Amino acid sequence: MADRAPLEDDAGYDTLVIPRRGLKALSGIDGLTGGPLSPLARMQSPAGAADAGALIAAWEALDDTWRWAVPALLGPQRTIALVLGDGNTNLIGQYLFPDAEAYGPGFHVDMGREAVSLTGPLSLGMLRVGFYSHLALEEVEELSPFRTELAAVHFWPLMACLDAYRAAALERRLHRAGGAPPGVGFAEIEKAWVDGTSSVNPGWAVSLFSLLVPDRVPRDLPERLPRLLPEMTRQGHLKEAVSPGAGGVLYSFSESLSSLLWGLTSVLNFGLITQRLAQPRSAEVTILGGWRTPGGVWMADLSDMDSGLVSLALTGPALADDIIDAILGNDTLAPPLEEFAMETPYDRDVLVSRLRETVAAAPERALASHGFCTHCGRQLLEGVRFCRECGAEVEIPEAAVAAAMRPVCPGCGLQLRPGARFCRMCGKPQQGQLTGER
């Protein structure tokens, strides 16, 4: 899957690459905790020693609006995730802004295996233009809007039915049969679900919404389908038809939802997630997913999925444009990026200074023999028994224990080798070694 920002042309942007081991150095700054919207909050710390020098060098080289890449990454006030897919071309982008209204410069972030890349700086307006250029709402017919609600537990089987219909339509086209499939069977619906959750492709409905709300995906859906599909039929979302030639019951969409089948083989799926920090450590989240067809734009609002309901709407291009603009926000009053300024605890110069202090103190504070937690990789302070990051008990190698038990010279404090009779630093006789005492 391509993992690129949905921008018209990124040739004019710069990219800042920060090794993950460099970012690991932030864990050595006491009291520094990233904001709740920061992608670093979910980043697994790499093994090995932190590379504070790489992070300091990368951040000191930043100038002009690029200085805001630091607070945007560590404590973003606004994050926007975009997903686009048509089955062939798939785009995924995550964008970070230091300001809750996205008035400041934004950056596209790519969480790679070895490094984190920030591309930018860009404005919310640039992001909107790039998104709309792919969405191409001008190709959609205007129509009267339609809206309905269904139980969240029924939303997922509906998306599996939609994918099963699309797969059947593509197969009919391949065999030159043409026309919409009369319906899809239980086995086809189950296969669409399994394929959508195991082979992620946002061009298909199950995969798209699994990406948008991964913690709400019912992993046991295949076992529940025999009960859910008849329920959806009784509630008027689906229709059943017995088809002996097809080997059993076929499910098709009700009249009110039949427009879901428009442009089955040429739809463009899209997902939009926005998170805005309303107050410290509290975020407002909007989750919208849908697909654009020549006959209209379907949208599913998953923001309130915890309530047990999903709102499903069919709109024309004008209303779809209004809804997306309301979610993204309006930056027409935003100041020029060069003039942007705000108070932030993640100021680049302050953090570089604290990193330098941490590096200078490291030889005195860190244990040289086992300086990093073997469970989470955080640097350990001298004398600690438990990791302050994950709480794991510090594992001290036997060699380190033996070294710690060696006697020291009372004259100069040098640690003595086993059996030494004189200090190799100051020459003082070691009485304890001569008598066998410790």
pLDDT band (50, 70, 90) for residue 373 = low
Contact 73, 40 (CB under 8 A): yes
Beta strands 248-253; 296-301: pairing state: unpaired
Distances (CA, A) of 87 to 130, 168, 208: 19, 15, 11
Contact 190, 164 (CB under 8 A): no
- pLDDT surpassing 60 at residue 123: yes
- pLDDT surpassing 50 at residue 5: no
Question: What's the pLDDT score for residue 400?
Answer: 45
Any idea which of 19-23, 155-159, 180-184, 392-396 has the lowest mean pLDDT? Answer: 392-396
Question: What's the pLDDT score for residue 410?
Answer: 66
Question: What's the pLDDT score for residue 368?
Answer: 37
Question: What's the pLDDT score for residue 247?
Answer: 60
pLDDT band (50, 70, 90) for residue 6 = very low
Any idea which of 39-43, 107-111, 120-124, 190-194 has the lowest mean pLDDT? Answer: 39-43
Question: What's the pLDDT score for residue 428?
Answer: 66
Question: What's the pLDDT score for residue 236?
Answer: 93
Any idea which of 241-255, 315-329, 395-409, 419-433 has the lowest mean pLDDT? Answer: 395-409
Question: What's the pLDDT score for residue 235?
Answer: 93
Does residue 172 or residue 438 have the better pLDDT? 172
pLDDT band (50, 70, 90) for residue 372 = low
Per-residue pLDDT, averaged over 232-239, amounts to 94
- pLDDT surpassing 90 at residue 9: no
Question: What's the pLDDT score for residue 371?
Answer: 57
Does residue 268 or residue 411 have the better pLDDT? 268
User: Each residue of 270-288: pLDDT tens digit?
Assistant: 999 999 987 776 789 999 9
- pLDDT surpassing 80 at residue 304: yes
User: Each residue of 393-430: pLDDT tens digit?
Assistant: 666 554 444 544 556 666 555 556 666 666 655 666 66
Question: What's the pLDDT score for residue 70?
Answer: 93
Does residue 379 or residue 294 have the better pLDDT? 294
Distances (CA, A) of 331 to 163, 336, 343: 37, 11, 20
Write the DSSP assignment of 126-168 as a string of letters: HHHHHHHHHH-GGGSPP---EEEEEEHHHHHHHHHHHHHHHHH
pLDDT band (50, 70, 90) for residue 10 = very low
Cβ density class 174-199: b for 16+ within 10 Å, e for less:
eeeeeeebebbbbebbbbbbebbbee
Q: What is the SS3 string spanning 277-314?
A: EEECCEEEEEEEEEEEECCEEEEEECCCHHHCEEEEEE
Give dist(CA 340, CA 284) in Å, integer: 23
* Bridge partner residues of 249 (DSSP): 242
* Bridge partner residues of 274 (DSSP): 80, 286
Contact 270, 210 (CB under 8 A): no
Any idea which of 2-11, 235-244, 269-278 has the lowest mean pLDDT? Answer: 2-11
- pLDDT surpassing 70 at residue 183: yes
Per-residue pLDDT, averaged over 176-186, amounts to 82
Question: What's the pLDDT score for residue 383?
Answer: 52
Residues 6+ apart with CB under 8 A from 243: 182, 183, 249, 250
Residue that is written with structure tokens 């994050």 in the block: 79
Question: What's the pLDDT score for residue 230?
Answer: 95
Per-residue pLDDT, averaged over 108-118, amounts to 91
pTM of the predicted model as reported, rounded to 2 decimal places: 0.77
User: Each residue of 333-371: pLDDT tens digit?
Assistant: 677 777 888 888 889 998 999 888 877 776 544 433 345
State residue 145 phi and psi, 5-degree precision: -70, 150
Contact 42, 58 (CB under 8 A): no
User: Each residue of 287-300: pLDDT tens digit?
Assistant: 999 999 888 999 99
Does residue 265 or residue 324 have the better pLDDT? 324
pLDDT band (50, 70, 90) for residue 436 = very low
* Bridge partner residues of 240 (DSSP): 251
State residue 82 phi and psi, 5-degree precision: -120, 140
